[in-house]
Chain A
Amino acid sequence: MAKYIVKRVGLALITLLIIVFLLFVMVRIMPGNPFPSERMSAEQIANKRIEMGLDKPVLVQFRDYMVKLLQGDFGKGTSLYYGAPIKTVLSTCVQNSFRIGGLAILIGTAVGLLLGITAALNRGRFLDGFCTVFSIVGVCVPSYVFLIFLQYYFSYKIPYFPYFFDANRFLFSSILPALSLSLFTMSTVARFTRNEMVEVMDSDYVRLAESKGIYGPRLIRRHVLRNALIPIVTVLAPLIVDLLTGALVVEKIYGINGIGKLMVDAISGEGVDYNYVLALGILYSALYIGIMLAVDLLYGILDPRIRVAAKGDA
C-alpha cells in the first residue's frame, strides 16, 4: 500500500511540475504585451520589463518564479488590483469560493444520496419517476440559470435573501448560490446512486443474503449500500473540482469575491493580467490533480481489488 501511495503521489507531483512549466512558458513566450501599451511610453514599458525581470531568459525566469512560488509568493498583478500581492488577494478569494463550494458539495451529496436511495427502494413507483425527472432537469439546466431564477424570485420579487453576496452575513447570503451550485451534483449523484443500487439489488449475493433471512434496513445498509457507494466516489471527484473552482458564472452573477470571479476579471478586462492567469492556472491545476489523487487513494482504500491490481502492475 505504501508503495502504491508513493508512486501515485510522485506521478501527481511530476505532472503538476510539467504543467506549471508549460503554463509559465506559454504565458511568457506568447505574443502580446502585459502592459496597456497605449497608456505607457516605450521607455516606461522597457523599465517595467526590467523591473519584473522579463528581460532575462525564460528558463532563468522560470527558476526565479519557482523559487518564489515554493515560498508561497505569486508575485504581483500586472493590471488587476495594482500593487497588491497576488497571495493576499488569492487567499480571500479561495476562502469565499471554498466555503460556498463546500456547502454546495454537502447539500448536493446528502440530498442526492437520499434521493437516489429513495428512488431505488421505490423502483418503478412515483418517487422513482420523480427522481428521474428531477435529475434530468438538474443535468440539463446550467447552475447559473437556477441562480438567476432564485435571485429573481427570492431576492427581487420577495426580498428575503440578499440580492448580492454579503461577506458579513456569510451563511445567509451563501444559501442561494450554494443551492444552485449543488443541483448538478445532486442530480448526478441521485441518478448514479439509483442505478448502482438497482444493479446491486439484482445481484446474486444480495439474493443470497435475502435467502439467508436478512431483510429490510439491515440488508440495505450492510450489503447493498456498501458496494453501491464505492463507485460514487469516482463521480464525485470531478464534481468537487468543478464546485471548488468552476463556480465562475455563479460568482459573477451573485457578486461573490471568489477565484472564479477573479479569473473572469483577469481574462475579460481590457488587458489580460498575465500574473493572475499564471497564478490561477497553477492553483486550478494543483487543486484538480490533488483531488484526483485523493480520490485515487481513497478508492484504493475502499476497494481492495484496485490495490491488488496496482500491486501486480508495479
Chain B
Amino acid sequence: MDEVKLTTTSYVPEPGDFSFLSQQDMNVDRNFASMGYWKGVLIHFFRNKRAVTGLVIVLVITLLAIFGPLVSSYGYKEIVSAVNDAGKKVTAGSIPPQIPGLFGGRNVKPQFADRTFLFGTDTVGRDLWTRTWYGARVSLIIAFVTIIIDMIIGMSYGLISGYFGGMTDNIMQRIVEIANSVPRLVIVSVLAIFMPKGMGLVIVALLLTEWIGMSKIARAEMLKNKEKEYVLASRTLGARSFSIIFGQILPNTIGPIITQVMFSIPTAIFTEAFLSFVGVGIVLPQCSIGSLIEDGFNNITTLPYQILPPIIVLALLMLGFNFVGDGLREALAPKLEDM
C-alpha cells in the first residue's frame, strides 16, 4: 500500500478573501432576540400602559401614606384647638377644606381662618389630611403584612400537598375544602367572641381566609412542574424533597403566586375597610380607610366633604392593584397576540 503523499501547497491569502464586516452587514434578530425570562416580563409589564398607570397610582398613594402625615403640622389624633378672645379653648371641628387666601374660609371660627386644612377637619377637630394618609398607611400595612404571611403559608401548603400527592394530598385537600366552605364573615364573627375588636381581629381573620387561594395556585403549579426533567435530574442527584420543593420548584412557580398576591392585596384592603365600617375593625382614635368612611357616612347629610378623601383613596388603591395584577398576569404568560 503506497502511502498517500500529502502535498501541501501553502495558501497565500489574497486581498478580498477576508475582510471585517461593517456594522450594516450584521443582521441581529431583534424581534425574536433571546432574553432572560424576568427581563422579558419586565419589558412586557412596562409596555402595558394600564399596568404602568396602576403601578404609578399604587406608588403615589404609598408615598403619600408614608410622608403625608409627616409633612402635616397636625398629629393624626391631635384635636386642633385654639384660645378665643374670651380665653376659652375652642376646637376646630367640622371645617370644610380650606387653604387661606385660595379657597374656603367662610363661616369658620376666626381663630382658624389662617390655618390650612387640605381635606378639612372631622367633627371633633382632627385634621383629615393627616388622618386620611395615616388611615391609608394602616390599611396598607395590614394588607401587606397579612398577604405576605398568607403567601408563605399558602404557598408552602400547596407546594407540599402537590409534591407528595397520594394520601398526604388527599387529607390536605379535604382540609382546604372545609376551610373554603366557611364564609369569611362567619370566621370574623366567631373570632369576635373572644378577641378584642381592633387591628388584631382584622389581621387574624384575613390570615385564616386568604391563604386558601394561594395554596390552590401553588398546588396547581406544583402538579405542572413536578414531572419535569429538571426535578427528575435533581432527584437523581440525591436532592432532598425539601430542597427540591423550595429550592428548585418554588422559583419556577413564583410568577403566578405573585400575581395572586397582587389580587389579594385589594381584597385585604376591601375586607379591612368593610370590617372597620361595620365596627369590629380599627377602634378610635386609630383610624383606617374603613373607619374614616364610616365617620364620613355618619355626617354625610351635614358635612358631605368628609367622606370623599377616604373613598377616593380606597377606589384608587383597588384600581391600582387590580391594574398591576392584570399587567403582571399578562406579562408572566403573554399570549401570542400580545407579542
Contacts and interface: CB of A to CB of B under 8 A. Distances in A.
Contact of B193 (A32, A246, A263): A32
Interface in B268-306: 270, 273-274, 277-280, 293, 297, 300-301, 304
Interface residues of B, number: 33
Contacts of A274: 193
Interface stretch (A18-26, A53-61, A174-182): A18-26
B243 interface: no
B302 to A, nearest CB: 10
Interface string A259-282: 000011011100010100100110
Contact of B183 (A32, A264, A272, A284): A284
B297 A27 contact: no
Contacts of A139: 318, 322
Contacts of B26: none
Interface stretch (B7-15, B174-182, B217-225, B227-235): B174-182
Contact of A268 (B193, B280, B297, B315): B280
B185 interface: yes
B242 interface: no
A248 B89 CA distance: 40
Interface string B177-205: 11001110110111011100100000000
A152 B304 contact: yes
Contacts of A23: 186, 190
Among B194, B270, B280, B319, the most chain A Cβ lie within 10 Å of the Cβ of B194
B92 interface: no
A140 B314 CA distance: 8
B292 to A, nearest CB: 12
B178 A18 contact: yes
B136 interface: no
A147 B165 CA distance: 47
B278 A252 contact: yes
B296 to A, nearest CB: 8
A30 B190 CA distance: 9
Given A241-B183, A284-B186, A285-B181, 9 more contacts: A18-B178, A141-B311, A156-B300, A246-B183, A249-B277, A263-B189, A267-B280, A272-B193, A288-B182
Interface of B: 177-178, 181-183, 185-186, 188-190, 192-194, 197, 270, 273-274, 277-280, 293, 297, 300-301, 304, 307, 311, 314-315, 318-319, 322
30 contacts: A19-B181, A23-B186, A139-B318, A139-B322, A140-B322, A141-B311, A141-B314, A142-B270, A142-B274, A144-B277, A145-B311, A145-B314, A145-B315, A152-B300, A156-B301, A248-B274, A249-B274, A252-B277, A264-B278, A267-B188, A267-B280, A268-B192, A272-B189, A272-B192, A277-B189, A277-B193, A280-B189, A281-B186, A284-B185, A288-B181
Interface of A: 15-16, 18-19, 22-23, 26-27, 30-32, 136, 139-142, 144-145, 148, 152, 156, 241, 245-246, 248-249, 252-253, 263-264, 266-268, 272, 274, 277, 280-281, 284-285, 288-289, 292
In the A-B complex, the 6 residue pairs with the closest CB atoms: A140-B318, A268-B279, A267-B192, A281-B186, A30-B194, A140-B319
